[in-house]
Amino acid sequence: MLKIVLAAGVLVSLSTSGAFAQSAAAKAVLTSCKPDIARFCSAVLPGDGRIKGCMKQHLPELSEGCKEAVPGVAQAITAKIVSLVS
C-alpha cells in the first residue's frame, strides 16, 4: 500500500512540477529530437504516449543527437524521484 501511495505522490509531483518540464534534459531532447519527430512521427497525434511510441518504433533510425539526449531525461526523472523519497 505504501508503494502505491508513494508512486501516486511521485506522479503528481512530476506532472505538476514546472521545474521538470523546463529541465535542461527535457529541453535537450526537444531540441535534439525535433527533426526526428517531424521526420518519423509527423502524422501521429500527440498525447497518451503516441509520440513516444512512434519514436520507439523508429529507434534504430533516430539521429545520434536524439539518441544521446534521451538518457538525460531518464537521469532527471530518477534524480527527481530520489529527491522526493529522501
* Nine-digit cell string for 79: 534524480
pTM of the predicted protein model: 0.58
For residue range 15-73, list pLDDT tens digits in order.
445 455 447 777 888 888 999 999 999 999 999 989 888 988 998 999 998 888 877 76
> pLDDT-derived band of residue 77, with 50, 70 and 90 as boundaries?
low
Lookup result for grid cell 508503494? 3
- CB burial of 2-36 (b: ≥16 within 10 Å; e: otherwise) equals eeeeeeeeeeeebeeeeebeebebbebbeebbeeb
| Domain positions in the chain | 23-85
Lookup result for grid cell 505504501? 2
